[in-house]
Structure 1
Amino acid sequence: MMTEAGKIQGTTWAFGSLEGYDHRWANYAVAALPERIGSDAYRAYMKGKAAAHPNVFVGRHTLLPEAPSAATLGDLHEHPEQSAFTYIRNQCQRCHLAVKGRQTRGDYRGMGCGACHVPYGNEGLYEGRDRTIPRDEPGHMLVHELQATRDARVTRPAGAKDPAIEWTGIPVETCTTCHNRGKRIGVSYQGLMEAAWDTPYTEGGGGQLPLHTKHYITLSKDVHYQKGMLCQDCHTSGDVHGDGGLTGANLGGVEIECADCHGTPERYPWELPLGWGDENGPGQASGPPRGVAREVPDRLARGRAFPPEDGYLLTARGNPMPEVVRAGSRVLVHTAGGADLWLDPLKAKAERGELSQAAEAAMVTTARHLETMECYACHATWAPQCYGCHVKVDYSEGKRSFDWVAAGRMHGTPAGRTVKGERAFDTYIPGQITERRSYLRWEDPPLGVNGEGRVSPLMPGCQVSVTVIGPGGREIVRNKIFRTLPHSEGAGAQGQLGSDMSPVFPHTTGKARACESCHASSKALGYGIGDDVGVPQPWNTPKVVDLATAGGRPIPRSARVQVEPIAGLDHDWSAVVTPDGRQLQTVGSHFHGSGPLPQRMRVLMDRRNVCGACHEVVPEGSLATSLLHHVAAAAGATPVSHDEHMSLVQHVVMTAATVEVGAVVLLLC
């Protein structure tokens, strides 16, 4: 949140893999501490993690390169990829914690520690007890109090018509002040999906109020959010404050896994080894049971310490969670917001026979799912998918934009330490940024493999198509997708298209998606939206729309291109791989092991059009099926509902298996 090396690497990846897989550049030049902060088990574990991914867990960051200046704009003709640094400094790094960022509705916040611990309302209006602060001037904190853990009570005083409100913990919307772009996990957790329009209309016929400069529709909220859990109830102190090391990607910095609380149908959380679900590549973690901790270190107990019951649960990396305890076969979560939530791990439910039929099929009968997949590959019910990021960097007519990285460094100078906000800083650089997209989706995220070697949902990462306008007003590049390093990401000497589909935990946990949404879906397999019916069209040819002959030849001489081509994009944005295994774009830029679903996995998974296997002969395809169908119809036993059809298919499978096994037994006898 301060160095933002991951965002920098992801963006420079889209502009020609300027760092490759490394994470060298950051907002600030900084070195990792000699020793990570954490338990002995955690420190030992992280040494192995760093050894497995030295490009992600680095010892030092160097300064982000400067953006093109007035003196170097001429170099853009030879190196248009350098426009990446204008884009990064003006757009991507606006949320880093050394600045207060864009002061607009939903984006008001403090900086440094205050970015999280000082409450700001979305309107940026003060509602505290200090009478010297204007009540109608945006840009102020909500109250002069600090929000933190369960023991820190914060009060918004009573007004003329409403009572006082008291809360504990850090509200989700505080986190969403920043986490509304990129992976969009903050708004997704709240059930908000970015929309193209500002409907439904408000009173008087106006449009929906912009929030984070966007408009939203409402979808299902994450089940944890519905239970009243705040971000900090899952994410540890190390997740948000760091552990003294330097991590270049979110996946590398998060130490929790779903199984840390939920376990598996075969093992309780405390029976799992360290590293379960946090592997460094394909294959399950192994080792002795992790157990529980009997105490928490002082640094974690400074907020609210809870009785250990039967022990504090451990994260996948070996640190105790001071708010999550074992109580017999159950788990008790003491939330920062003041609730005490009881959780039955999956093994407890399995032992009591409380798993649903679908859960049994997915996790017990087909145990391979748990061995190879993230839990959220099924349980992320939706993900924001913003396909095609069209970025224009315009250096013409003296256009300029604000450099947030330079502004953050200004705050580190003696003259800038006491300056409120960044409005007084003259940190403008040449170039103006415009962003557009091709289209939005949310349903049935495609699947790929993340840096831990597990199947994960994918969402568009930096799918950047770049247009650069030079200082004289002439385009330098138009709709260009840069390529990665030679012989990387499944490509040859020219490199792979630098548009990226990123493995992601969408923070939309809920009831698992249906089996057919993966096994019968071209999109889930990575072949693209509607590939099985030919819906995706290549983007690399111009689309002319006008009067045309039956053969498609435009008739008017004045006919113009309606949709401009994007060179090299011979597929849809949503496709990552072809059925024969040709990779079409990158899948994650941080970990070497991320990629599309492997060929064998796609073959095992693909059950598209499987209905035809039966209905090719049912009801009239053969004498036997025809006779059986007519008998069933006469008896009123033809399946009509979903459940009746499921029951029939199961009966057919069991009958066939019994007959075939019986035949073998008879032959052997």
Structure 2
Amino acid sequence: MKTVITTFIITSMMIFALLLSPLARANAPESGCLTCHNGIEGMGTPAMQATVKAMSTQHGDPEGCIYCHGGNPEATTKEEAHTGSPESLIQAKGPQMFYPDPGSIWVNENTCGQSACHAGYANRLEKALMNTEAGKLQGNLWAWGYQKDHKTVWGNYDVKDEDGNVPAVGTDAYKDYMVKMMAAHTDQFADELKQVPDPKVDDIPENPNHAGLTYSRQECQRCHVGVTGREKRGDFRGSGCSACHVPYSNDGFYEGNDPSINKDQPGHILTHQIQATRKNKVKVGDIEYSGIPTETCNSCHNRGKRIGVSYQGIMEFPYGSPYDPEGGKQPKLHTKKYLFIKDDLHHQVNSRPENPQGGMLCQDCHTSIEMHGDGNIPGTTLAQVEIECTDCHGTPDVYPWDLPLGYGEEFKQDIPQDPRGLGDKWPAFMAFATYYEPKNGYLLSARGNPLGNVVKDGEDVILHSASGTDFKVPILKKIKDDDSWRSLDGKVAMTKVASHMENMECYACHADWVPQCYGCHITVDYSEGKTSVDWIRNANARGEDGLTPDAAYDTDGLHGPGKVSETRSYLRWETPILGVNGEGRVTPMMPGCQVITTVIDKDGNTVAHNKIWETPEGPGLDMAAVQPHTAGRQARTCESCHNNPKTLGYGIEDGRFNKKMSTPMYVDLETAQGEIIPSKTQIQSQAVPGLDWDLTQIVTRDGKQLVSSGSHWPLTGPLSQEQREKMERTGVCMGCHKEMTNDELWSKVNSDKVLNDQEHIDRVNQLLRKAAGMEAEEKAANEAADKALNDAKANAK
């Protein structure tokens, strides 16, 4: 259950002075906010608190509360205190009235975004993906057959970019890069967005795919920063700035010292403190931490691509086992039950031997622009995310600072090869971050902004985590130069096969697993006046105080017509499919919006039954390119790609399973010829018309694409016919082993013992070099080296 009460101060649950404990009342002032909230935690760093108090004093509140919240600092009752704002503060463009949640995106221009504080952030966040969710809407409506192209059209709100295509923030190099990128990809950026429409219920019989609008509004759009999310375990959060910067536990209980807040009621902030950078220390009981915990991000990033929970190593599963001591299943988190698979190596507490214990936070890689936006309107994640793995690790042949800008997102185009260099100063928008001495310089993102927490220090690269831990980053070129590879597989894959580094994402090999939710079966039912929460209605019905209707205690807010229910065909996690992403590089793929829909109109008529809608690229069972955030040090084996039909897109074991979903399945007494004997029987599993291939198959061996593969970028799709044929090496063992019964031949190459893997590799390599005529040359070279060594030893004596 969520709370109206806010990010910075929670006041609406209990009466003030009369409900305070005797100790609190004894120490409380006779007027002002601390009359009720005596003992509440300070917000922000000591320096920030001192600044806020100094500015707030000018408006009659030396405690600093009104500078964020507004309200009447001289009041002696709750009602008076939570009304209006000092006239001088209103004139200064501060809070215009009392704001329960100063972080709300609808008021933060007058709170967090005041000219003396974080000016510009509110405007940028309004256009960023965290708020518009333009990419999610485009992808979903594409799968429903509603949108017919890659254009960025819809958002949660009407939004316009009033100041043109030059980003509002960033280095000159970044701004130049983005202007060119936007010019080259006009469909993936927008000058304006239109609010996603509400379907007309009377039109559903004629246009049942318009139910996709209801599905988006009710099920998908709850995770943007314009609303506070649903009242479920794991989903408690604030709005706007508060969504990320104010801590909420999964269970939603307050653990601070404000005596006016009910500690037994869920839906409250964990503590009245800001979590942000290393500078901001948050104290909860005996625990002190800095940075934004991963679980804060996961209050949203647990559906769609599921990258947040995947980074933690967990995947939803239906069982809820093992049982607890009372025989119950595990509690639901984000309305799901979870199984631990394996967390991303960057998340793991046990790091590399030369590093201290502790995992990395999301913000250690993802930049301020990726979170808050740059002032433009991106249409996809790829349009807004500026980092690549190589920005920190480089390649085996090139240090990160010698790579050109744009490396890793070439979009199949030639890019200038000038080294990007290092940064020695920060752009102005990074002024609020924790400052780290640049040493030899800050590493730069692929688009030209300094990574202010990643510095070159002599031969080392140091990443300063917001958690307070400093990590030494492994640099691939240094590993190659020192020949300090952990495995021969890694050395060969990265230094001997040039196409791996030229054409593949690092995580094509290093993603250990990918959550794969195949077939999203959706029913949208408009009959009998059914309704459910409509997050777009909530977001667009905000009050002047910045609260949306869903913020009210014990409610999810406004409803819209129709009620959605959904389930799936099946889940997998192992062996992700490979395809091509929007940048033109080989990448893991996962099921995206794979909608199989049933729509019931207002009169109870089924106007679509298990319908798969058509997209310009085929049936709308979309496969999406993904960075799964499941990196492992031990990468995929060669065989898992080159000897695996699922990886190539042909489906599990060449798609020979699950091929009868297009016909209804009966299970009852039947004859040997398959005739059902009883006349009264039921369909066990309903048909999905047209679905006569395994959902893990996206392309046939002769190149026919079976499903949509990527709704956002034109380069996204399955591996090409040429790539698949070049990659596949199934059955190559037969080249040798078909001669196993040829005793005469085999006796000339066989040994007296069974070879282990390494010996097997060495023997085949020896035969290869012998066939190339290199064995004699190497023998002569080795003999010459031995002679030179012996001569040197003799001369030394």
Secondary structure at 2:339's aligned position in 1? Answer: strand
> 3-state DSSP class of the match of 1:463?
strand
Counterparts of 1:420 and 1:536 in 2: how far apart (Å)? 42
Match for residue 644 of structure 2 among 517, 521, 540: 521
Look up the equivalent residue of 1:292 and give its one-letter code. Answer: L
Shift of 1:547: 2.8
Q: What is the CA–CA distance in structure 2 between the aligned matches of 1:286 and 1:654, rounded to whole Å?
A: 38
- Alignment correspondent of 2:759: 644
- Aligned letter for 1:527? Y
How much has 1:416 moved relative to structure 2? Answer: 5.6
Q: Secondary structure at the match of 1:55?
A: helix
Q: Distance in 2 between matches of 1:152 and 1:537?
A: 55
Deviation at 1:592, TM superposition (A): 1.1
User: 1:97 aligns to what?
Assistant: 225
Q: Deviations over 1:435-491 (max 9, x none)?
A: 100000011100110000000100000000000112222211110000013xxx2xx
- TM-score, scaled relative to structure 2: 0.77
Tell me, yes or no, if structure 1 residue 80 matches structure 2 residue 196: no
Aligned to 2:602: 471
Tell me if 1:344 matches 2:474.
Answer: yes
Whole-angstrom CA distance in 2 between matches of 1:17 and 1:577: 24
Match of 1:548? 670
In the alignment, residue 289 of structure 1 is paired with which amino acid?
P
Alpha-carbon deviation of 1:431?
Answer: 0.9
Structure 2 contact 273–282 (Cα < 8 Å) conserved: yes
What pairs with 1:524-539 in structure 2 (closer than 5 Å)?
524-531=647-654, 534-539=656-661
What SS class does the counterpart of residue 85 from structure 1 fall into?
helix
- Show the counterpart of 2:49: none
Letter in 2 for 1:56: Q
Task: Give the conservation status (yes or no) of the 8 Å contact 1:98–1:112.
Answer: yes
Partner of 1:223, secondary structure, is coil
Distance in 1, Cα, partners of 2:530 & 2:734: 59
CA positional deviation for 1:327: 1.3
Are 2:6 and 1:6 aligned? no
Name the CA shift for 1:416/1:291 in 2 (closer, same or farther; >3 Å). closer
Residue of structure 2 equivalent to 1:161: none
The question of whether the paired residues in 2 share the 8 Å contact of 1:530 and 1:536 is answered with no
Match of 2:345 among 223, 228, 240: 223
Structure 2 vs 1, CA of residues 420 and 26 (structure 1 numbering), >3 Å: closer, same or farther? closer
State the partner residue of 2:38. none
Aligned to 1:63: 195
Which whole-Å CA distance do the structure 2 matches of 1:538 and 1:642 have between them? 41
What does residue range 14-413 of structure 1 map to in structure 2 within 5 Å?
A: 14-32=143-161, 33-34=163-164, 35-36=166-167, 37-68=169-200, 73-157=201-285, 164-226=286-348, 227=351, 228-279=359-410, 281-282=411-412, 285-355=415-485, 356-411=487-542, 413=543
Q: Deviations over 1:157-181 (max 9, x none)?
A: 3xxxxxx111110000000010000
Change in Cα spacing, 1:418 to 1:9, as seen in structure 2 (3 Å) is closer
Shift of 1:514: 0.6
Give the Å deviation of 1:425. 7.6
The structure-2 alpha-carbon separation of the partners of 1:426 and 1:191, relative to structure 1 and needing over 3 Å to count, comes to: closer
Report the Cα distance in structure 1 between the residues aligned to 2:649 and 2:420, rounded to whole angstroms.
36
What does the per-residue CA deviation read over 1:87-121, in whole Å, with 9 as the maximum and x for residues that have no partner? 11110001111111111111111111000000000
Q: Given residue 744 of structure 2, which amino acid in structure 1 is its aligned partner? A: A
Indicate if the aligned counterparts of 2:538 and 2:550 stay in contact, CA closer than 8 A.
no
Q: Which residue of 1 aligns with 2:578?
A: 447
For 1:624 and 1:660, locate their aligned partners in 2 and report how far apart those are by CA, in whole Å: 22
Asked if the contact 2:580–2:719 (Cα under 8 Å) also holds between the matched residues in 1, the reply is yes
Q: 1:179 to 1:425 in 2, by over 3 A?
A: closer
Residues 41-69 of structure 1 show CA distances to partners (whole Å, capped at 9, x for unaligned) of 1111111211221111111111111133x
What whole-Å deviation, never above 9, does each CA across 1:484-531 have from its counterpart, x for those lacking one? 13xxx2xxxxxx101100000000011211111110010100011121
Counterpart of 2:745 (choices 609, 619, 625) is 625
Offset of 1:610 from its aligned partner?
2.1
Alignment of 1:547-586 (within 5 A): 547-586=669-708
2:559 aligned with 1:436, yes or no?
A: no
Q: Give CA deviations for 1:285-305 in whole Å, capped at 9, x if unaligned.
A: 442000001111232132211
Contact 2:319–2:337 (Cα < 8 Å) also in 1: yes
Q: What is the RMSD computed on CA atoms of the aligned residues?
A: 1.8
Instruction: Report how far residue 249 of structure 1 moved.
Output: 0.7
Contact conserved, 1:276 with 1:284, CA < 8 A, in 2? Answer: no
**Which sections of structure 2, spanning at least 5 residues, go unmatched?**
1-129, 352-358, 778-797
CA contact (8 A) 1:446 1:459 kept: yes
Q: Distance in 2 between the 1:419 and 1:89 partners?
A: 15
TM-score using structure 1 length:
0.92
Q: Helix, strand or coil: the match of 2:598?
A: strand
Query: In the aligned structure 1, how far is the partner of 2:754 from the partner of 2:288?
Result: 60
Structure 1 runs (4+) greater than 4 angstroms displaced: 422-426, 659-662
Give the share of equivalent positions with the same residue, in percent.
48
CA distance in 1, matches of 2:191, 2:214: 26
Distance 1:564 1:30 in 2: 43
* CA shift for structure 1 position 19: 4.8
Given that residues 109 and 120 in structure 1 are in contact (C-alpha distance below 8 angstroms), is that contact kept between their aligned partners in structure 2?
yes
Contact 2:229 2:550 in 1 (8 A): no
Asked if structure 2 preserves the Cα contact closer than 8 Å seen for 1:329 and 1:345, the reply is no
- Deviation at residue 655 of structure 1 after TM alignment: 3.0
Unaligned regions of 5+ residues in structure 1, if any? 158-163, 490-495, 663-669
Worse overlay, 208-217 or 294-303 = 294-303
Cα offset, 1:21, TM superposition: 1.2
In 1: Cα distance, 2:770 partner to 2:677 partner? 64
Q: Deviations over 1:409-454 (max 9, x none)?
A: 112x426648781566862111111110000001110011000000
Query: Quick check: which has more Rg, 1 or 2?
Result: 2
Change (3 A) 1:616 1:538: farther
Distance 2:490 2:545 in 1: 60
- The alpha carbon displacement at 1:20 in A equals 2.1
Moved more, 465-474 or 76-85: 465-474
Q: CA deviation at 1:367?
A: 1.2
1:658 paired to 2:778 = no
| Distance across 1 between alignment mates of 2:291 and 2:644 | 41
Preserved contact between residue 148 and residue 615 of structure 2 (Cα < 8 Å): no
Residue 418 and residue 50 in structure 1: after superposition, are their counterparts in 2 closer, same or farther (change >3 A)? closer
2:577–2:589 Cα contact (<8 Å) kept: yes
Task: Say if 1:505 and 1:555 are closer, same or farther in 2 by CA, change over 3 A.
Answer: same
- Measured after TM superposition, the shift of residue 535 of structure 1 is 2.8
Offset, 1:344: 2.9
Is the contact between residue 588 and residue 594 of structure 1 (CA under 8 Å) also seen in structure 2? yes
- What SS does the aligned partner of 2:528 have? helix
Equivalent-residue separation in structure 1 for 2:691 and 2:733 (angstroms) = 33
Conservation of the 8 A alpha-carbon contact between 1:381 and 1:508: yes
Look up the SS of the partner of 1:462 in the other structure: strand
Q: Distance in 2 between matches of 1:193 and 1:274?
A: 35
SS in 1 for 2:566: strand
Alignment deviations for residues 304-343 of structure 1 (CA, whole Å, 9 cap, x no partner): 1100000011000000111011112321101000011111
| Pair 1:433–1:547, CA change in 2 (3 A) | same
